[in-house]
Amino acid sequence: MIYVLGSINADLVVYSVRFPDVGETVVGNDFLVNQGGKGANQAIASQKAGGETTFIGRVGDDYFGTLVLESLRREHINLRVKREKNTSTGIAVINVDEKGDNKIIIIHGANGKVDGSETAYLKERFKKGDVLMIQGELDASVVRDAARIAKASGAIVIFDPAPVSSELKSIIPFATFVTPNETEIKTLTGLSGDKGAEALLKMGAESIIFKKGEKGLLFLSSKESFSVSAFPVKAVDTTGAGDTFNGAFAAALHAGKPLKEALVFGEAAAALSVTRKGASISSPYEKEIKEFLKTHSVKFRVHT
């Protein structure tokens, strides 16, 4: 089983040619309301990519809670979700420009209520070979406890340290894979680029998957290091691309694919997702990823 302990939000997405400056009003091109939250995005990406997935989290007792839960049910994801009374569902306000870049503001809402009852639920169920996906949108102590329990149970822990904060450093030693981008590496280590990724590995993770967007990724562990090029596509909206990668990568690993094949599978899923608008709604299905891989390839090189 692939377990996802994480956030679930309603995404309020505004598309415009460019981002407004301070005090400026810009006329937008389009507006969408859909399900988001890094945890839920990763759960949907995993399920769509062929993984059997359970999502654990909380929503509010408002309209948005109903909306986001329905998106998970449509994909037949197993749910362990509590509805909090007198609490709003998490909200993300997202601006996307014509290049597909985004700026995001998050309101935690019910996500901030996730606590030890969720980790107790996981402790009763983890077994060797399971996968746990975690992120930085929940209380760091809760996420750390879940990672510690998963590692002790022999489960694979995939940790996305976003949104990044210094508190997340304590989770790294319990992670099988840490999947940061450039900003997250610099915040966690004080160093940039590949040097920062190497410093992050020394903080205790088994391996680092440094996500470089259109430049591909860098994989680092104590045993090997290599780069994987990205698939060349025209980006429309990069929102949720990292979550799509994590979900598809988790699905491929859980299905028994070798590491490099699983990384390429995740890269292909992310490439497809940025050609579409939205977060989880843009993540591709397993069949789409396989069809894409029939006509596209990437390059590997040993990291030096």
Q: Could you say which DSSP state residue 22 is in?
A: T
Give the strand order in the sheet containing 9-15.
30-36, 9-15, 90-96, 102-107
Is residue 299 over pLDDT 80?
no
CA 249, 252, 256: angle at the middle one, nearest 5? 135
The average pLDDT across 26-53 equals 93
| Structural domain contains residue 74 | no
CA-based nearest residue to 247, from 76, 13, 12, 3: 3
Is residue 52 over pLDDT 90?
yes
User: Which of 145, 160, 194, 243 is labelled catalytic?
Assistant: 243
Beta-bridged to residue 30, according to DSSP, are 15
Per-residue pLDDT tens for 150-180?
Answer: 999 999 999 999 989 999 999 999 999 999 9
How high is the pLDDT of residue 98? 87
| Structural domain contains residue 72 | no
How high is the pLDDT of residue 234? 86
CB atoms within 10 A of CB 63: 11
d(C-alpha 158, C-alpha 149), whole Å? 13
**Residue 128 binned pLDDT confidence (cut-offs 50, 70, 90):** very high
CB atoms within 10 A of CB 115: 14
The average pLDDT across 96-107 equals 86
Is residue 113 over pLDDT 60?
yes
**Are the C-beta atoms of 304 and 227 separated by less than 8 Å?**
no
Q: Supply the range of the domain harboring residue 291.
A: 2-6+38-58+112-302
Contacts of 137 (CB under 8 A, 6+ apart): 6, 7, 37, 38, 39, 90, 106, 108, 111, 162, 163
The average pLDDT across 22-44 equals 91
| Structural domain contains residue 106 | no
| Structural domain contains residue 93 | no
DSSP string, 205-219: -SEEEEE-GGG-EEE
How high is the pLDDT of residue 303? 65
How high is the pLDDT of residue 304? 52
| Structural domain contains residue 66 | no
Q: Given the DSSP bridges, would you call strands 217-221 and 207-211 parallel, antiparallel or unpaired?
A: antiparallel
**Residue 135 binned pLDDT confidence (cut-offs 50, 70, 90):** very high
* CATH number of the domain enclosing 128: 3.40.1190.20
The helix/strand/coil state of 3 is strand
Mean pLDDT of the chain: 92
Per-residue pLDDT tens for 193-250?
Answer: 999 999 999 999 999 999 998 889 999 999 999 999 889 888 888 878 999 999 999 9
For residues 55 and 274, which has the higher predicted lDDT (pLDDT)?
A: 55
Active site residue 21: no
| Structural domain contains residue 95 | no
How high is the pLDDT of residue 148? 97
Look at the block and give the residue holding tokens 């746990």. 132
How high is the pLDDT of residue 62? 93
**Sign of the torsion angle spanned by Cα atoms 47, 52, 57, 59:** positive
| Structural domain contains residue 144 | yes
The average pLDDT across 292-301 equals 82
**Residue 101 binned pLDDT confidence (cut-offs 50, 70, 90):** confident
Residues in the chain: 304
Q: Number of folded domains in the chain?
A: 1
Token reading at 297: 């390839």
**Are the C-beta atoms of 10 and 33 separated by less than 8 Å?**
yes
Is residue 119 over pLDDT 90?
yes
How high is the pLDDT of residue 51? 96
| Structural domain contains residue 97 | no
**Are the C-beta atoms of 247 and 41 separated by less than 8 Å?**
yes
